[in-house]
Amino acid sequence: MSQNRGNRRNYHGRSGGRGGSGAGGGGGGRRGGRDGQNAGSGSSLDETNPIIQSFRGYARELDAKHDRHERIVKCSRDITIESKRIIFLLHTIDPRKNNDAKVCEEAKQRLENLFRNQFFIIAKELRGQDAYQYARAYTHGMQEFIEAYSFYEYSSGQDISHWQVVQEKLSYKHDATPPVKQESTNEPNDSTTAEVATTAEVAEGSDGQAEAESPPATTNESQATLESVCLLQPLDFVLGLGDLSGEIMRKCINGLGSGQVDSCFGHCRFMQDLYRGFLSVSSARSRDFTHKMNTLRQSLVKSENVCYNVTMRGGEAAKWGGGPSDEAFASFVGNSNFEAAEEDEGVYF
């Protein structure tokens, strides 16, 4: 019985697929006809349809946004690389070589170049746009720059600037540049493509890095003056200061190795004040802020351990640095053969 039912089902299925005389066959013919009509209509769309035109415009807007995002990310990477190089440069300051003025001047010039070039490009890209939509595109570069800028101010003996002071330096006034004409396969009324052409002014140099025109010092009265701002969020500024703690900790340890014992306590006090300020911020609901707090605490503990060792074993720490306190430590210990004993000492683990 079950075999006969299976044969009847197979028979009706084959007749429907062939468009036969049965009910299944008629249904198969109607489905085939509708599929043919849909295939024919999908090959050619009505471009004059307002819905089609609207979605074409949405696609162009999304493409323009993604292209702008990628250009900002590229500038952010250049800022990150240059900021790290400036930090490494500032770590080469050695009081024994008396090169602090030369190194700080070079670091200042390189920071000014970042203001004039990469940040100016980002400011022009953000003009007329919602800056908060692209904030995550350059947040890492901004934090690294704040770290380098604040480390330069600390190394040169200046006070750490307020975030509003840095924000004013990231505001530019420049002349309106005419839009660059580009060939496009889109419709002639493509306003979004023209807008992208005005902002895409990044030129590739011979070294593969982005080059841009610096904001002119004088403006022509016959041209309209535009104002572009690179947004600096307060959270990015605070996170950049959190990264500064790692550089101060490294400077503290290097000061102990070079014999500048007194500077270790100054670095430690600065980090304690910085950590106290971070503790006063209790309303920051940010995962990055919590991570920076943990890093700052670890750096502070390392600096305090250095100062503790200097205090408890002060003579030995000064002796390691090779400073002028070796003779005083030798007289305090009462060992007349201090230098000879130092030559015979070995390394014990």
Question: pLDDT by residue (tens digit) across 178-190?
Answer: 544 444 444 444 4
Q: How far apart are CA 81 and CA 67, in angstroms?
A: 22
CB 302 within 8 A of CB 246: no
Residue 89's nearest CA partner among 68, 70, 104, 109 is 104
pLDDT band at 324 (very low <50, low <70, confident <90, very high): very low
Q: Say what the pLDDT of residue 206 is.
A: 40
Contact by Cβ (8 Å): 163, 237: yes
What pLDDT was estimated at residue 309?
85
Find where tokens 């008629």 sit. Answer: 26
Q: Which of 236, 59, 261, 216 is nearest to 131 (CA)?
A: 236
pLDDT band at 142 (very low <50, low <70, confident <90, very high): very high
Flag whether pLDDT at 331 surpasses 70. Answer: no
Which domains does the chain carry? 50-179+191-232 (1.20.58.190), 236-323 (1.20.58.200)
How high is the pLDDT of residue 44? 77
pLDDT confidence of 37, banded at 50, 70, 90? low
- State residue 287's pLDDT score: 84
Q: How far is CA 127 from CA 1, 131, 173, 228, in A?
A: 79, 8, 11, 5
Q: Using pLDDT thresholds of 50, 70 and 90, give the confidence band for residue 237.
A: very high
Q: Annotated binding residues, as ranges?
A: 147, 247
The pLDDT, as a whole number, for residue 272 is 93
b/e per residue 113-141 (b: at least 16 CB within 10 A):
ebbebbbbbbbbbbbeeebeebbebbbbb
Express as a percent the part of the chain with pLDDT over 90. 45
Residue holding tokens 């949405």? 58
Give residue 245's pLDDT. 92
CB atoms closer than 10 angstroms to residue 333: 12
Give exposure, 189-222, as e/b (b: 16+ Cβ within 10 Å). Answer: ebebbebbbebbbeeeeeeeebebeebeeeeeee
Residue 224 binned pLDDT confidence (cut-offs 50, 70, 90): confident
pLDDT tier, 123 (very low <50, low <70, confident <90, very high otherwise): very high
284 against 306, higher pLDDT: 306
Residue 197, pLDDT score: 41
Residue 244: predicted pLDDT: 94
pLDDT band at 285, cuts 50/70/90? confident
Q: Which residue numbers belong to the known binding site for Mg(2+)? A: 147, 247
State the pTM of this model. Answer: 0.66
